[in-house]
């Protein structure tokens, strides 16, 4: 099994499916991660105002997280944070297609379309286009994941809302997810923020309780071909 996690920003891969990544790598599955955006320039009025050392630190933290999680290969790009709507959609699709051609994943985890964050919804659309079910295409399953502080903050106002229908047991890897998130020190927040360790544990426990696990990550199955 080759799995590809497509994320808009550094930390989305951990927030959305960090426990699943750790579980798959523990099971000797090949997991690849693609992070398309640089992550923090939207915090400034102009992109060029960002401290380049802060960007470099965030990139290095992405590498540290991937190594810690046992990811086979990390692909990093520098699309402008929260400005993906200024990039031609075709350019984003081409990036994803190039990665798919290289790693030939059978399973893809990507953002949900109904997220509050514009970059997330664009990544979802680009992923679906890049994985059109043509004859001979490697991708057989596409899952959408939720990102705390983005998916739920849309309050279901953007169609379609996140509808969890696949649950992966991360009871054995939840704490590794929390540790991985803490490597992204600039992105962690204090409780009750959804990106706090306490909130991430609570979310995993909530989904676990829904399906009889100690902890789980929830996904929406977008497409499966058998």
The pLDDT value given to residue 40: 78
Terminal CA-to-CA distance of the chain, rounded, Å? 14
- 50, two tokens: 């960002």
The pLDDT value given to residue 50: 72
The conformation of residue 80, written as its DSSP 8-state character, comes to: P
Contact 121, 111 (CB under 8 A): yes
Domain spans in the chain, listed from the N-terminal domain onward: 2-224
Q: Give, for all 226 residues of the chain, the pLDDT tens digit.
A: 799 999 999 999 999 999 999 999 999 999 999 999 998 777 766 676 677 888 899 999 999 999 999 999 999 999 999 999 999 999 999 999 999 999 999 999 999 999 999 999 999 999 999 999 999 899 999 999 999 999 999 999 987 899 999 999 999 999 999 999 999 998 899 999 999 999 999 999 999 999 999 999 999 999 999 8
Enumerate the β-bridge partners of residue 75.
34
The pLDDT value given to residue 207: 98
The rounded distance, in Å, linking the Cα atoms of 128 and 187 is 28
The pLDDT value given to residue 84: 97
The pLDDT value given to residue 153: 94
The rounded distance, in Å, linking the Cα atoms of 123 and 99 is 14
What's the CATH number for 2-224? 3.40.50.10320
């Amino acid at each position: 099994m080759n799995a590809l996690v497509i994320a808009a920003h550094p930390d989305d891969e951990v927030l959305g499916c960090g426990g699943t990544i750790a579980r798959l790598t523990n099971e000797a599955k090949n997991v690849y991660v693609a992070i398309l955006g640089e992550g923090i320039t939207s915090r400034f009025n102009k992109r060029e105002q960002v401290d380049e050392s802060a960007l470099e630190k965030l990139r290095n933290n992405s590498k540290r997280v991937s190594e810690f999680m046992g990811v086979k290969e990390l692909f990093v790009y520098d699309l402008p944070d929260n400005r993906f709507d200024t990039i031609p959609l075709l350019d984003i699709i081409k990036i994803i297609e190039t990665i798919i051609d290289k790693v030939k994943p059978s399973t893809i985890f990507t953002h949900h379309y109904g997220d509050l964050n514009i970059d997330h919804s664009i990544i979802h659309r680009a992923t679906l286009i890049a994985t059109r079910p043509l004859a001979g295409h490697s991708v057989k399953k596409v899952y959408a994941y939720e990102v705390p502080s983005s998916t739920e903050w849309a309050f279901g106002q953007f169609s379609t809302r996140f509808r969890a229908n696949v649950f992966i047991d991360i009871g054995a890897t939840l704490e590794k997810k929390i540790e991985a998130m803490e490597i992204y020190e600039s992105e962690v927040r204090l409780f009750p923020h959804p990106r706090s360790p306490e909130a991430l544990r609570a979310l995993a426990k909530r989904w676990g309780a829904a399906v009889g696990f100690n902890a789980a990550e929830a996904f929406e199955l977008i497409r499966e071909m058998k």
